[in-house]
């Protein structure tokens, strides 16, 4: 069975500073990894995904993530955080190539960016 861990409940960062949100995973076989963001009272928005290929994945709104197979990690990063990046971030994994609709989500990390 697959699982995802987001070790930090909350990350605080000042605007303009680098932002990192951590994620580790456990899955049988090749992992399919995703990051989603949720704003208050809204659904989830897709940021980026890793399926195969380059370990550095670039996504929406200036976010990127690095897949590290040896450390089973998929940390989300942004070089310069904005106040508008304040939201709830979810890492997710799928180990099934034939059922993209079923994802295992982490508990989420609240990001707070202060001016």
The binding site for another protein (CB under 8 A) comprises 32, 34, 36, 41-46, 49, 51, 90, 94, 99-108
Q: How far is the CB of 32 from another protein (least distance, A)?
A: 6
Which of 31, 81 has the CB closer to another protein?
Answer: 31
Which of 36, 78 has the CB closer to another protein?
Answer: 36
> For the purposes of burial, counting CB atoms within 10 Å of the CB of 70, is it exposed (0-12), middle (13-18) or buried (19 or more)?
exposed
Which of 24, 106 has the CB closer to another protein?
Answer: 106
Q: How far is the CB of 20 from another protein (least distance, A)?
A: 21
Which tokens sit at 46? 């897709």
State the distance between the two ends of the chain, measured CA to CA, in whole angstroms.
Answer: 41
**Cα–Cα distance measured from residue 86 to residue 103, given in angstroms and rounded to the nearest whole number:** 23
**Cα–Cα distance measured from residue 101 to residue 47, given in angstroms and rounded to the nearest whole number:** 16
Q: How far is the CB of 19 from another protein (least distance, A)?
A: 21
């Amino acid at each position: 069975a697959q699982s995802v861990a987001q070790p930090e409940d909350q990350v605080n960062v000042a605007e303009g500073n680098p932002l990192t949100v951590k994620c580790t995973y456990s899955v049988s076989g090749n992992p399919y990894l995703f990051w989603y963001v949720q704003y208050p009272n809204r659904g989830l928005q897709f940021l980026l995904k890793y399926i195969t290929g380059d370990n550095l994945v670039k996504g929406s709104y200036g976010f990127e993530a690095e897949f590290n197979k040896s450390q089973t990690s998929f940390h989300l990063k942004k070089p310069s955080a904005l106040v508008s990046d304040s939201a709830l971030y979810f890492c997710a994994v799928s180990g099934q190539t034939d059922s993209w609709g079923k994802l295992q989500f982490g508990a989420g990390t609240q990001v707070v960016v202060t001016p």
